[in-house]
Structure 1
Amino acid sequence: MKLKYILIISLFSSTLSAQIQKDSIYQVEQINLLVKKKLLERKADRLIFNVEASVASQGMDAVETLANVPMLKIDENMGSISIAGKSSVSIMINGRILNLSGTGLLNYLKSIRSENILKIEVITTPPSKYEAQGNSGIINIILKKNPNIGFSGNINSGLIQRTYSGFTSNGALNYQTEKFSSSLKLMYYDSAKRTDENYTILGASQNYSNSIRRDMWNELTPTLNLSYKLSKNSEIGMEYTYARQKSGMDIVNTTKNIGSDLKEENLLTNTFHRGKLPTHTLSAYYDVKLDSLGKKLSIAGNFYKNNSDTEVNFSTLQSSDNSVKDVKTISLVSPQIFSAQADLELPFSFGIIETGIKFNQFKNSSDLRYFNLVNGQYIPDNLRANLFQYQEENYAGYISYAKNFGEHWETKAGLRYENTNAKSFTPSSNSGNQYNYGQWFPSVYVSYKEDKNVFSLSYSRRINRPSMGNLNPFRWYQNPYSYSSGNPLLTPAYINNLELGYTFNNKFSASIYYLRMKNAFGQISTIEGLSQIGTYLNYYNNNSLGLNASYTDTFFKFWETTISMTAALQNSTVFNIQAETQKGNSFDYSINNTFTLNKNKTFALFLNYSHSLPYKNVNYYFYAFPELTSGLKFSLMEKKLQINATVTNIFAQRYRGTISFTDSTQRMDNYWDGRSFRLSVNYTFGSGKNKISKKNIKFDEKERVQ
């Protein structure tokens, strides 16, 4: 009898246990559904894209993930990331500027997996805390926190097949204890592409130029990150990056020049271009929490230096007399940047106050030497040689105040002041330029949330200072007659941004913006005899009224799509040049689709199409540019092994445009090897949770080295 009762009790216990377990699983599933992240969230000063809520963003690297974020555009062929309506962007990791740009930036982001990204913040009108430099937004990638200790890492290899084959590889090894964190990344790429550029100038005289170019890059970049918790309230850290870069170009250029007297001259130039660019970047920070209420002080410093050593050899055959000119140029360019800043965050019951100061210094020294080959010896041509020295110092301070009113209203306002002292000197011509200016940069943000609707209104004023390359009168020769150079007399442009945003049900997002740019600069090409000369000028003011909209949703449980569009109207005036402006307009749209092909969601097909219609701006006209990209992605070994295959720019589209002046018309027709096949394999090892949440230090100024 006892045995019978024991069996009954045991059976009842097992049944009850199974039911409890079943109910627990059900409850967890329900809780997971309830707390599932919203795809899009709009705050007062930013739009947030939650990566975990996007099926299309799973099993990808950070570059591919960014391509799924509304308003963002990724162009791997040009090495650029942009926000609709913005000329450039800064990339942050966990609130600190990433000290990389161009191809190096994209390769670094490829080492970050989407499963390690919590969310991506798109800041179209940056607050006063950030640099006022540039008509740029900010993309802040927030990584998941690492609660565990131990080793982890990943290895990634990729093949890029364009006209030529390319190879990329990167790896990361992370180690963390309760107080100490370290991360060692190693990136390597060896790539090449074919470029076909055509530029025509039609006026009193005519110039037809065609360049077939092979661009080559080779880079090895180790990055070391270290951080240590001095106490539960303070932490120090540093990052050091060394980039050993090599570049090369083999160019065949044909130029036909027809003078106003109808005399024709043909030039055939073969160019051999090789450069070395060793770069050092050192950043350090100290963070301390001042009390239990969240008051925080952050101190950071950055140092950047490179020594660019470039040799160019070109040989030009001139048709009029069948003469050959052999020329060599050697250039040494040494930019250096130092910056230091302190930021204080003070949360109170009446709101949050942020304030800080910053100092940065730019130095650049360039030396161009020009040699003619005469009787087998290279003879210096001092009239074409160039020395240039530049120094700039910026002092900045800011204060901002943020306050939430109930559950519906969120507000933020800030004011930043920047003072700049700059001077340049050209020893070869004994000429120089010096200027000083100070400016205020206000910013205001308001948002209102009601049920599924979120409205936001933001305003900010910004400045676009010329980069070192824009200012440097250093001449880059295409042949013995034609060259491009910077202009040390350039002055900054100023930008006012006003934006009204709206988000519905965390799926639909739209914004209307007004942008006014004053004293803007760009590159202008002219003809002087046989010479085609390119330089930079301040030459236009621009008013833009634009609309951005996107909608993301999932259909039939296996199909996620994002539809985006941007449209803008521009009105411009010009000065310093003779040109007729035109009422500008632009419209482009994109449709990104991801189809999950199996129940476990480990096999997916993506098909993305974008189309930029013909658009006008200032005195430019650009033709339509449609682009189709497709690929497959696989997740194996519990998502530790990721394999992606992609074909970009399937139709091999060309970039074509026209620039109109009063006395001439200039046309471009270029192909930059956009069609490519990319295959990447990524393997993650160690515990799936052992991912280092890497800190980066703001270093906005580094972008101006370009």
Structure 2
Amino acid sequence: MKPFLSSHQADIYYVGKVGQVGVDFNATYYAIKNRRNDEGFESSKELGYQEIHSSNRQNSDMWAGKLVVNIPLWKGNMSVGTELSKTDSHGTFLNEEQLVPSTKTDIHERNIAGFAQYGLVLSKWTVGLGVRYENIVRDYLSDGVKQDDVSRKYNNFFPNLSVSCNKGNWYWQLNINEKIHRPSYRQLGNFMQYDNRFLYEGGNPTLQPEKVLNVEAMMIYKWLNVSIGYKYLKDVMEWTKYIYPGKEFAYNTSLNFNHKQLLYASVNVSPRFGIFRPTWKINYSQQFFDTEKYGSSKALGKPLLSCSLDNHFALSETIGVAMNFYAATSNADGFLMQKSSYSVNLRFYKSFANRTWIIYLSANDILKTAKERWTMYGLGSGTTKDCYNYTRNVSLQVTYNFNAKRSKYKGTGAGNEEKSRL
């Protein structure tokens, strides 16, 4: 495997006021190139010997702009704005031996969004209410020919509500919002990749976005942070596998399923005891997803309990050392059943010249315990993986912060969620 990735980004912004009205404008151009060459060798007494050579190319660019106008209104502030983006993604997949067909995919997507948000301050209370509207048009071309059956148009409204209270050392917040997660451009590709004689993988041009309703409550008291949340995912996207129709191999891809629910909670503490400044996190999450209903051979609902204990010692203003311990129980995620794991890491840093230069010395996975161990209970087909990915290492990193304090860039960028899909 010889992967290569390069990206370029250019941003412009304007932040100012016209009277009492605030104006915030951002524009972004983003281009990314992905290259991957794979070669494999298979040897079998029954099926013989063969070599497999394949290449995957994806060139994408995005233009985006965002304008936000902030208007003082009564005891709060009204923000209205628009966000526009235009994305072109071109992907090619080539297998020299023609074990799978070569493909060319072009996706052209245009996103027009409008939004409004009102924040009201009443004594110790703050209330926020908003809505976002999105209009998406996607043209999907295969080998230069538009595919009407997988080209899409979407019109969606996404409301949100937040209520918070700040009293002394206490802070409470409740958030309710609806969002959408759109599939990445690779997930939408029409390629079929050969992994071995019994396993292929690829994209799914028919994949629909998943809608997410999220309710989350949070409480902060000094150095204690506690949160609990619930998510309902409609048309949830999950990575799974099934026996390919009419063939004798399994196929890995992303598929939509009716819905999935998630319950999660976390407790974070970050006290200070002189030079000892720990950050300890305990997390819980559990899916409620009827995997057996969709064809899995096993019900998967085991919750995840994990902890991250970062023990940091600030020996001076410029020298620090930390030991991090991470552990997670076995847990279910989609159609995967992950086994328990833990790891121990050490880190030392020293800064110079007012943090212009920083040296980091790290020892990762010291006990060689961070293994990748899971079983996928797919739709009539399963896979088990138990391996070590050679994550134990010692690294030295030297960072130079060039002109950091004089940077005047205050923009937030535009099309950030669209950029993450590339």
Q: Give per-residue Cα distances to partners, 1:496-532, cap 9 Å, x unaligned.
A: 111111111x211111111111111122224556634
Which structure's residues are more often helix, by fraction? 1
- Per the TM alignment, residue 661 of structure 1 is displaced from its structure 2 partner at its CA by 4.4
Does the CA contact (< 8 Å) of 1:327 and 1:480 recur in 2? no
What is the CA–CA distance in structure 1 between the aligned matches of 2:3 and 2:346, rounded to whole Å?
35
The SS at the match of 1:588 is strand
- Per the TM alignment, residue 352 of structure 1 is displaced from its structure 2 partner at its CA by 0.3
Aligned with 1:691 (options 369, 385, 406)? 406
- Per the TM alignment, residue 418 of structure 1 is displaced from its structure 2 partner at its CA by 0.9
1:290 maps to: 18
Aligned with 2:343 (options 614, 617, 627)? 627
Does the CA contact (< 8 Å) of 1:581 and 1:619 recur in 2? no
Q: Give per-residue Cα distances to partners, 1:75-109, cap 9 Å, x unaligned.
A: xxxxxxxxxxxxxxxxxxxxxxxxxxxxxxxxxxx
- Per the TM alignment, residue 595 of structure 1 is displaced from its structure 2 partner at its CA by 2.2
Matched ranges for 1:59-458 at <5 A = 249=1, 274-291=2-19, 293=20, 295-320=21-46, 322=48, 324-372=49-97, 381=98, 384-406=101-123, 408-427=124-143, 431=147, 432-458=149-175
Matched ranges for 1:446-525 at <5 A = 446-479=163-196, 482-504=199-221, 506-525=222-241
What is the CA–CA distance in structure 2 between the aligned matches of 1:638 and 1:438, rounded to whole Å?
51
- Per the TM alignment, residue 287 of structure 1 is displaced from its structure 2 partner at its CA by 2.9
Q: Give per-residue Cα distances to partners, 1:50-79, cap 9 Å, x unaligned.
A: xxxxxxxxxxxxxxxxxxxxxxxxxxxxxx
What is the CA–CA distance in structure 1 between the aligned matches of 2:214 and 2:280, rounded to whole Å?
25
State yes or no: 1:553 paired with 2:278: no
State yes or no: 1:590 paired with 2:305: no
Shift of the 645–607 alpha-carbon distance from structure 1 to 2, 3 Å rule, reads: same
- Per the TM alignment, residue 592 of structure 1 is displaced from its structure 2 partner at its CA by 1.4
- Per the TM alignment, residue 321 of structure 1 is displaced from its structure 2 partner at its CA by 5.3
Letter in 2 for 1:472: G
Which structure's residues are more often strand, by fraction? 2
What is the CA–CA distance in structure 2 between the aligned matches of 1:559 and 1:657, rounded to whole Å?
36
What is the CA–CA distance in structure 2 between the aligned matches of 1:665 and 1:330, rounded to whole Å?
27
Letter in 1 for 2:78: I
Does the CA contact (< 8 Å) of 1:603 and 1:633 recur in 2? yes
Shift of the 552–329 alpha-carbon distance from structure 1 to 2, 3 Å rule, reads: closer
The SS at the match of 1:469 is coil
What is the CA–CA distance in structure 1 between the aligned matches of 2:57 and 2:136, rounded to whole Å?
26
Of structures 1 and 2, the one scoring higher in RCO (CA 8 A, sep 6+) is 1
State yes or no: 1:543 paired with 2:258: no
Aligned with 2:325 (options 596, 609, 618)? 609
- Per the TM alignment, residue 574 of structure 1 is displaced from its structure 2 partner at its CA by 4.6
TM-score, normalization by structure 2: 0.88
Shift of the 305–409 alpha-carbon distance from structure 1 to 2, 3 Å rule, reads: same
- Per the TM alignment, residue 638 of structure 1 is displaced from its structure 2 partner at its CA by 5.9
Shift of the 361–595 alpha-carbon distance from structure 1 to 2, 3 Å rule, reads: same
What is the CA–CA distance in structure 2 between the aligned matches of 1:512 and 1:608, rounded to whole Å?
24
- Per the TM alignment, residue 547 of structure 1 is displaced from its structure 2 partner at its CA by 1.4
Shift of the 315–690 alpha-carbon distance from structure 1 to 2, 3 Å rule, reads: closer
- Per the TM alignment, residue 633 of structure 1 is displaced from its structure 2 partner at its CA by 2.4
The SS at the match of 2:421 is helix
What is the CA–CA distance in structure 2 between the aligned matches of 1:614 and 1:657, rounded to whole Å?
9
The SS at the match of 1:433 is coil
Letter in 1 for 2:45: S
- Per the TM alignment, residue 427 of structure 1 is displaced from its structure 2 partner at its CA by 3.5
Shift of the 638–524 alpha-carbon distance from structure 1 to 2, 3 Å rule, reads: closer
What is the CA–CA distance in structure 1 between the aligned matches of 2:286 and 2:339, rounded to whole Å?
16
Letter in 2 for 1:491: Q
- Per the TM alignment, residue 685 of structure 1 is displaced from its structure 2 partner at its CA by 7.8
What is the CA–CA distance in structure 2 between the aligned matches of 1:402 and 1:694, rounded to whole Å?
26
The SS at the match of 1:470 is coil
Shift of the 623–340 alpha-carbon distance from structure 1 to 2, 3 Å rule, reads: same
- Per the TM alignment, residue 636 of structure 1 is displaced from its structure 2 partner at its CA by 4.7
Letter in 1 for 2:17: K
What is the CA–CA distance in structure 1 between the aligned matches of 2:140 and 2:47, rounded to whole Å?
41
What is the CA–CA distance in structure 1 between the aligned matches of 2:12 and 2:214, rounded to whole Å?
32
Letter in 1 for 2:410: K
Letter in 1 for 2:12: A
The SS at the match of 2:420 is helix
State yes or no: 1:531 paired with 2:249: yes
Letter in 2 for 1:513: G
TM-score, normalization by structure 1: 0.55
Does the CA contact (< 8 Å) of 1:581 and 1:618 recur in 2? no
Shift of the 390–503 alpha-carbon distance from structure 1 to 2, 3 Å rule, reads: same
What is the CA–CA distance in structure 1 between the aligned matches of 2:401 and 2:54, rounded to whole Å?
46
Gap runs ≥5 in structure 1: 1-248, 250-273, 373-380
Letter in 2 for 1:648: N
Shift of the 404–507 alpha-carbon distance from structure 1 to 2, 3 Å rule, reads: same
Does the CA contact (< 8 Å) of 1:296 and 1:344 recur in 2? yes
1:657 maps to: 374
Letter in 1 for 2:110: E
What is the RMSD of the two structures over their aligned residues, measured on CA atoms? 2.8
Shift of the 382–634 alpha-carbon distance from structure 1 to 2, 3 Å rule, reads: closer
Gap runs ≥5 in structure 2: none
What is the CA–CA distance in structure 1 between the aligned matches of 2:265 and 2:188, rounded to whole Å?
33
Does the CA contact (< 8 Å) of 1:422 and 1:436 recur in 2? yes
Does the CA contact (< 8 Å) of 2:64 and 2:414 recur in 1? no
What is the CA–CA distance in structure 1 between the aligned matches of 2:57 and 2:37, rounded to whole Å?
9
Does the CA contact (< 8 Å) of 1:539 and 1:574 recur in 2? no
Does the CA contact (< 8 Å) of 1:541 and 1:574 recur in 2? no
Q: Give per-residue Cα distances to partners, 1:398-427, cap 9 Å, x unaligned.
A: 001011112x11111111111222232324
Shift of the 659–540 alpha-carbon distance from structure 1 to 2, 3 Å rule, reads: farther
Matched ranges for 1:28-47 at <5 A = none
State how many pairs are aligned: 415
Does the CA contact (< 8 Å) of 1:540 and 1:575 recur in 2? no
Shift of the 704–640 alpha-carbon distance from structure 1 to 2, 3 Å rule, reads: closer
- Per the TM alignment, residue 455 of structure 1 is displaced from its structure 2 partner at its CA by 1.2
2:388 maps to: 671
Letter in 1 for 2:54: T
Letter in 1 for 2:270: T
